Structure 1
Amino acid sequence: MAQVANHPASDILVNGATTPPGKWNRAETDHFVVLSDGGEADLRRTAINLEKLQHLLTRLYHIDQAHDEVGKLTVTLFGKRSFFKDLGLVNARSAEGPYGAGLSDQRYYDPRADGAVLAVARADQIVELNTPEARERDCDNAMENDQDCLDANRINREPVPRPWAAALYSGVAQHFILTHIPSAYPRWYLDGVGALFSTVTMRGDGAVDYAAPPLYYKHVLRAYGTVRIGDVVTGRYLEPGYRRMVWTPYHAWLTAHFFLYSGLKPARQRSFSKYMSAIAHGTPMAQAAEELGDLRQLQHEFNVYLESSILYARSDKGKDPGQDPIVTNLSPAQVALIGPRLQMDARIEDDNAARRENWLHGLRTSLAQAGDAAEAHMLMAEAECRDGHDDLCLQQAEAVLARSPDNMLALAWKGMALADKAINEPADKRTGDLASARQILLSAAPADHGAAIPQIAYFRSFAKAGEAPPQQALIGMVKVTRINPAAPAPRLYLAEELVREGRSDLAKTIMLPVLYGGYASHEQTLGALLLGGAAAEQAQPH
């Protein structure tokens, strides 16, 4: 591994952010790939716990594991909470909350076309309890007892911790719902399901406690305001300038627990099911909330629930969810790529061309320090191809193929670069070169039946050329949406082709989770424009 200016390869700089140095390990299980700069024993225990959580969720939601096609989730665990800021990460496709100060940026999650990624800091969050809301309540209590409201008489409440594992388990539960039961969910529901499973406890006998109240939740409610259930279900709490409560994971837990685990009466359960169904079919939250009836009555029921004993659940012991994870040490080159990999989608899809090129320039300079490491060539090939630098992409892919001719991903980037180059060639060369490029992409796909990149590149080569894709390409893209159901980009690519074929209704069905889900995304905007344009065209007299 080459080193430059006496700096270790693990200290590669990318756009001012240093990939965290130190010893990193990788653990792989049936459903997860986990990277961590912590101890090996902690990593092993975390990976096992994630498999136990996966097993619990699979049982609760009746998922047939024998026919589960969903790809593995890659989880990165950083030792510092500053990783979010250091790497400039933004949840562009999965913004939670928005949570109050100190509780935001608890996890980075991106449902990417080639596999979802989740990043969490191995550091507990500190929840401040001395808030304006808490001081106002203290003042009211003092006045009720004929006391004044001077600062000296105010109660000073110590902050409380929120375990870092809560953010990890929450992110995994959200990912599970989005991939195994894809639908359009209101954001509060995704926040809430994550919060419900954020408190899981793995017991020594194999059982798992779940849906337990988070520690200090009553303290947090006092500090940030009680749950305004009507404002939540209508989406008013998301409006700019909303001040009636501060949304937190604790509020999300209570809301979800009320609807899912409090034993609603049959009539209320039916109304909630109709509410969720309406949202799943694209009804705005405020309109869907009409299914819940009088929201004042709903608030009353919620208040009664708050005064009752809040129960949690315990799973049966069940069978062992799997073998111990395979743990390996990461090389300095692999460590150096952790940060850039997480940054990739946001930087390459940045609408600001200057900012995008600046990041690419920094990445080229930085990865040059990695010498001839295959991992560096592959990452650079992806960046160059996705930004349209076909010759540079081809150069990086060929460097890998020179040593590993059957490398599926390198073949995919090579095929993509050649296809994009062919599209811009004169007509007499275009047809033959496109066919050759597509043959390379087809040769890449069978090498790994779970591979998304070759399938996407093959399908997109027809769309970019303005040609109708063959059935084989369509089947491949459908397969990608089954491997990575939460990824919005493959759904958009399929929808574009279906609209071109005049099948707008099917395109809308495929795009429902993207168009009306709780997470905004670039693909959501493009999908709305696509289907809006199709509807307008259909409405015109012919």
Structure 2
Amino acid sequence: MRTPPHNTPLRPIATSAINTPLWERCMKFETARACVIGAFIGLGLAAAPQASHADWLRAESERFIVYSEGSERSLRDYVQKLEIFDRVMQYKSGIPISTTPPRKLPIYLVSGRPGLLKINPNSGDITVGTYFAADEDIFAAAVRTSNSDGVSGQDVLMHEYAHHFMLGNSPGAYPAWFVEGFAEYYMTAAIDVNKNEVLLGGYNANRAYWIMQEDWIPLDILLKSRPDEVRRESQRATYYPIAWLLTHWFFSDPARLQQFQAYLTDVSQGGDSVEAMQRATGMSLDQLRAALRRYTRVRLTGNRIQGQFPTADITVTRLPRSANDLLLINQRMKLGVPEDDRAAVNQEVTRLAARHGEDPFALLVAGHAGLRLGDAPAGERALLRLIEIEPDNVEALQLLAEDRLKKTRETDDEDEALTFRREARDYLARAYAAASNDYRTLMLMTEMRQGQSSYPNDNDMLAMGLTLDRAPQLASVRFNYASALTEKGDRAEAIAVLRPLANNPHGGGASKAAVRMIAALEAGGALPDLSDDEIAPQISQTEPEAPTPEGASPNAPAS
């Protein structure tokens, strides 16, 4: 279900093929590295001057909400390019360009790795960006600059946004290699606002190096496996490069693109991925591998998309000083804090929030910490005070409703449980009136109904359908909806809801659980119980650039 389209067309669009001598330039790895990093810097903030103060800015556009400590000008430029990138993906995917998303994606741009660690203490040493899908929020975080290996937070962000876009806009369930190949293909987009053009089909220097220098992952393993299922290190290193190459090969030729569509249709109807590939291309895997090898030795065909891209309507506001202390740690709490760390995090939030008195954001984060991390009375006091100041604060109302639902489950007193449920319902009604499009409110409304004798009724199914429309990236949303559909006897639709999650390369335990659920549904059995690990938040930590193999020189000529 989509909100009504509005008139923000991309006018007019011209697409032309460009023959780019990628592999001639890739003869020297460092030359390729410099070229690709230059393209990524074109996406925005990497080389932008920084503001003299550290206040956070919030930029909101049609599709994005971007938080940054950088200058307002660079932030506006960055968001404009994000909007263009999204429109180009819509255009290339056959989606009406005027279609607006049911939810804007929040992005947090930080100055360095310490900022990522404030959100996710488990960020890897070379991580420059991460995508998070949790019940409380779906968002991305990226470093504004490149790391010491030249890996850019911007290319990572584009990769992860491509995943977000695919889950939100493509109803089909795609094989894992193409989910990654699609993201790899689009993440190198070079956007030139002055020329009103976008170049697609560029390469990532590290991926190019692995294609030219090393043995490839066998195509049968690539076609059938998610990245986390590949055991051999050398094969894992070439999973993303070959996924990109195969995607590029298909996308570069109209006849091959038709073959690719036939392959996807075959797989979506239950065909074996390897056999479907051979049927669609008319090649054995050895012949396909040879064709891809030949493809690396010619001028690769990219796409130049030109048009009068509309200027995005961007509103920039300066956040209160409390955001300097509390913005990122609040995002951390949305992901869940391990029990051993809860007391320390709660103390830190309490100390920082106290600096800002009755600042609304400080009250929100203090309330969030209190309810989540162990001091529930203090958390409730902060949130109740906040809704006195801001009666329509949706996050505060959601947190209070969630707290009442928790108390409903924990009490043995029926009258007390009824009181808590009524309070939860009142808070959710206020939250829904303030923002009817918020997926979190819809999720809590469904949770409140679970266990009732009439659940799931038609209103429950409508609410879950709306929630899936607004948060298709969430595993818990798909699990709940699929379970309700199964209870209603619609097993085929339940399987369709679970398929994208089952094929998600970064779904972790949730993807494996979806596979088990689909197997049970196809066999006509009962759905399996899910563990906490299987429904935990999904963290798509930046796929690290595969390192240059030991003993090999990145400047060695390509063979």
TM-score relative to the length of structure 1:
0.75
CA separation of 1:82 and 1:256: change in aligned 2, threshold 3 A: farther
Q: Indicate whether 1:232 and 2:222 are aligned.
A: yes
Task: Tell which deviates more after alignment, 476-485 or 64-73.
Answer: 64-73
- Mean Cα displacement is larger for which, 50-59 or 207-216? 207-216
Structure 1 residue matching 2:199: 3-state secondary structure: strand
| 1:100-499 matched pairs, under 5 angstroms | 105-127=127-149, 161-203=150-192, 204-215=194-205, 218-223=208-213, 225-226=215-216, 228-235=218-225, 238-244=229-235, 246-247=237-238, 250-265=241-256, 268-269=259-260, 272-274=263-265, 276-277=267-268, 294-323=284-313, 325-348=314-337, 350=338, 353-356=339-342, 358-385=344-371, 391-423=377-409, 424-463=411-450, 468-499=455-486
Cα deviation digits, residues 413-444 of structure 1 (max 9, x gap):
22232233234251234335423431331232
**How much does 1:522 deviate?**
4.7
Contact preservation (8 Å) 1:441, 1:454? yes
1:245, 1:532 → 2: CA distance?
Answer: 27
Deviation at 1:117, TM superposition (A): 0.8
Shift of 1:217: 5.7
Deviations along 1:348-382, one digit per CA (max 9) or x if unpaired, are 4x5xx334555445444443444322213323444
Query: CA 1:303–1:370 in 2, change beyond 3 Å: closer, same or farther?
Result: same
CA distance in 2, matches of 1:525, 1:385: 31
Displacement of 1:224 = 5.0
CA distance in 1, matches of 2:324, 2:492: 45
Counterpart contact for 2:59–2:66, Cα < 8 Å: yes
Letter in 1 for 2:156: A
Measured in 1, the distance between the counterparts of 2:119 and 2:434 equals 33
SS at match of 2:127: coil
* Structure-1 separation of matches of 2:348 and 2:498: 35
Counterpart residue type for residue 207 of structure 1: E
Q: Cα–Cα, structure 1 residues 362 and 81, in superposed 2: closer, same or farther, change >3 Å?
A: closer
Distance in structure 1 (CA, Å) of the matches to 2:419 and 2:427? 13
CA distance in structure 2 between the aligned counterparts of 1:475 and 1:420, rounded to whole angstroms: 24
Which residue in 2 is equivalent to 1:6?
none
Q: What CA distance in whole angstroms lies between the structure 2 residues aligned with 1:270 and 1:197?
A: 18
Tell me which moved more, 491-500 or 442-451: 491-500
Which amino acid in structure 2 is aligned with residue 322 of structure 1? A
How far is 1:80 from its partner?
1.4
Q: Offset of 1:76 from its aligned partner?
A: 1.3
Q: Look up the SS of the partner of 2:465 in the other structure.
A: helix
Instruction: Kindly provide the amino acid, as one letter, of the partner of residue 203 in structure 2.
Output: P
> Compared with structure 1, are the counterparts of its residues 514 and 475 closer, same or farther at alpha carbon in structure 2 (3 Å cutoff)?
same
Given residue 233 of structure 1, which amino acid in structure 2 is its aligned partner?
L
What is the alpha-carbon distance in structure 2 between the residues aligned to residue 200 and residue 315 of structure 1?
10
2:154 and 2:104 map into 1 onto residues whose CA distance is 19
Contact 1:213 1:310 in 2 (8 A): no
SS of the residue corresponding to residue 107 of structure 2 reads: strand
What are the Cα deviations for residues 24-46 of structure 1, in whole angstroms up to 9, with x where unaligned? Answer: 32221111111122232221211
Asked if the contact 1:259/1:272 (under 8 Å) is kept, the reply is: no
Instruction: Tell me how far apart the structure 2 counterparts of residues 490 and 189 of structure 1 sit (CA, whole Å).
Output: 23
Gap change, CA 1:68 and 1:30, over 3 Å in 2: closer
| Aligned-partner Cα distance in 2 for 1:514–1:328 | 36
Q: Cα–Cα, structure 1 residues 225 and 48, in superposed 2: closer, same or farther, change >3 Å? A: farther
* Letter of the 1:330 counterpart: L
Larger Rg: 1
Counterpart of 1:517, as a letter, is N
Change in 2 beyond 3 A, CA 1:333/1:69: same
Q: How large is the RMSD of aligned CA atoms in angstroms?
A: 3.5
Aligned to 1:73: 105
Who is 1:157 aligned against?
Answer: none
* Alpha carbons 1:71, 1:483 under 8 Å: kept: yes
The Cα shift of 1:318 comes to 3.5
Distance 1:508 1:414 in 2: 34
CA contact (8 A) 1:193 1:253 kept: yes
- Say if 2:57 and 2:67, in contact at 8 Å, map to a contact too: yes
Aligned position for 2:47: none
Structure 1 residues 524 and 249, CA, compared in 2 at 3 Å: closer, same or farther? closer
One-letter code aligned to 1:206: N
Q: Which runs of 5+ in 1 are unaligned?
A: 1-20, 92-100, 128-160
SS of the residue 2:506 aligns to:
coil
Pair 168,431 (structure 1): closer, same or farther in 2 beyond 3 Å: closer
> What corresponds to 1:55 in structure 2?
87
Once the 2 structures are TM-superposed, how far is the Cα of residue 66 of structure 1 from its aligned partner?
4.6
Deviations 1:237-259 (A, max 9, x none): 64223424623755443232123
User: What is the CA-CA distance between 1:345 and the residue it aligns to?
Assistant: 3.8
> Please, which of 61, 72, 76 is the counterpart of residue 29 of structure 1?
61
- Residues 244 and 508 (structure 1 numbering): CA distance in 2 closer, same or farther, change over 3 Å? closer
CA distance in 1 between partners of 2:196 and 2:289 (Å): 38
Q: Partners of 1:449 and 1:63 in 2: how far apart?
A: 25
Contact 2:131 2:160 in 1 (8 A): yes
Q: Aligned partners of 2:108, 2:210: CA distance in 1, in Å?
A: 28
Counterpart of 1:509 (choices 477, 496, 514) is 496
Cα deviation, residue 299, structure 1: 0.5
Alignment check: 8 A CA contact 1:495 1:507 kept: yes
Match of 1:56, SS state, is helix
What is the number of equivalent residue pairs in this alignment? 470
Residues 401, 411 of structure 1: 8 Å contact kept = yes
The C-alpha deviation readout for 1:257-316, integer Å capped at 9, x for no partner, is: 1232244547843553246525xx6x7866766756621121112112222220110113
User: Equivalents in 1 of 2:476, 2:305: separation in Å?
Assistant: 36
Tell me which amino acid in the other structure corresponds to 1:415.
Answer: A
Question: Residues 303 and 528 of structure 1: is their aligned pair in 2 closer, same or farther, counting only changes over 3 Å?
Answer: closer
Quote how far apart the aligned CAs of 1:487 are.
1.9
Task: State the SS of the aligned residue for 2:477.
Answer: helix
1:336–1:297 distance in 2 versus 1, CA, 3 Å: same
* 1:465 CA drift (Å): 6.2
**Deviations, residues 469-500 of structure 1 (Å, cap 9, x unaligned):** 55334322321211122222222222333344
Percent identical: 17
Over 3 Å counting, the alpha-carbon distance change for 1:501 and 1:111 in structure 2 is same
Gaps of 5+ in 2: 1-52, 528-559
